[in-house]
Amino acid sequence: MSGKKKYIFLLLIDIILINVSVMAALFLRLEITPSELWQTEFLRNFLIGIPVLSLIYICMTLIFKTYSVLWVFASSRDLVTLNFVCAISALLYMLVAYIAGILLPRSVYPIGALIMMILITGTRLLDRVYTRQRMNGEKKSEIPGRHLLIIGAGMAGNMLIHDIKQHSPSQKELWVIDDDREKTGKYIYGAKVVGTRENIADAVREYGIDTIIFAIPSCPEGERSELLRICTDTGCEVLTMPSIFFSTTALLGARTCLPPSMKKSDSSPSPA
């Protein structure tokens, strides 16, 4: 589905859901059957309010650009923004209804807003799951499963493991090495930390490792060379994450990490 068609499709689904939310809230508040609702003035007010609520919601989504979000990569902030749009739409709808005289019971508005949040958020989460499943399905045949050993359980290692688990579902054989002994035996996204640098050779033999990924971009050159020597001595294919992804930020007083990529290490590591 093209971007424009998907936008129109989501917009129509949202308009239906937000009005269904108000209708559901009305039934919950009045505790009546559909046939009984026909006999009340609330049905007329609800029908008149459909274009009002729809227009308010569309305006809010344009202001907060919720349709510009790639939900497959969305963060918790995007979900908060989407729920805020639902809440503010319900609030504005209530104000307009009071001014225009198309009133519904007051409790309908917060109940409707809550149902709206659940339904609208649910559609985005379903879209996220479907898109990721489709992406993973396309990559399944492209990425052969390997026995991987990740060197480093820090920020870069965590990002790499998460990416592998997220986008390479066929990759199930994955272990981690880190010199912090407190991490040994722990799990990172399902990958077990099996020891320190002294255990690299043993891990290669025990788990049948065929590829080692060096994931400590900020490692000092001397220590880096030593670790790469240990890795290459195992006879495995060795990949490294370059150190250019780490820089000092004076304003924040912290390191900044850009998205990692991998490259083959030199056949012979440079001396310390």
CA distance 80 to 84: 6
pLDDT band for 262, please (50, 70, 90 cuts): very low
The rounded distance, in Å, linking the Cα atoms of 211 and 149 is 6
Q: 33-67 pLDDT, tens per residue?
A: 777 878 788 989 999 999 999 999 999 999 999 98
- % of residues, the chain, pLDDT over 90: 55
Cα gap 97→109, rounded to integer Å: 10
Among 232, 243, 215, which Cα is nearest to 266's? 232
How much is the pLDDT for 121?
95
Residue 211 β-bridge partners: 148, 237
For residues 155-163, give the mean pLDDT.
87
User: Which ranges of 179-239 does DSSP label H, i.e. alpha helix?
Assistant: 200-207, 221-233
Check if the beta carbon of residue 255 is closer than 8 Å to that of residue 246.
yes
**What pLDDT, on a 0 to 100 scale, did the predictor assign at position 241?**
78
Mean pLDDT of 241-252: 46
pLDDT digits (tens, 9 = 90+) for 82-140: 999 999 999 999 999 999 999 899 999 999 999 999 999 999 999 888 887 776 665 55
Give 169's pLDDT tier (boundaries 50, 70, 90). low
Segment among 51-55, 76-80, 134-138, 246-250 with least mean pLDDT: 246-250
Half-sphere exposure of 135 (CA within 13 A, CB side): 13
Give every CB contact of residue 161 below 8 A, 6+ residues apart in sequence.
150, 174, 176, 188, 189, 191
DSSP letter (8 states) at residue 74: -
In the chain, pLDDT over 70 holds for what percent of residues? 81
Q: What is the pLDDT of residues 201-240, one digit of tens each?
A: 999 999 999 999 999 988 888 998 999 999 999 999 999 8
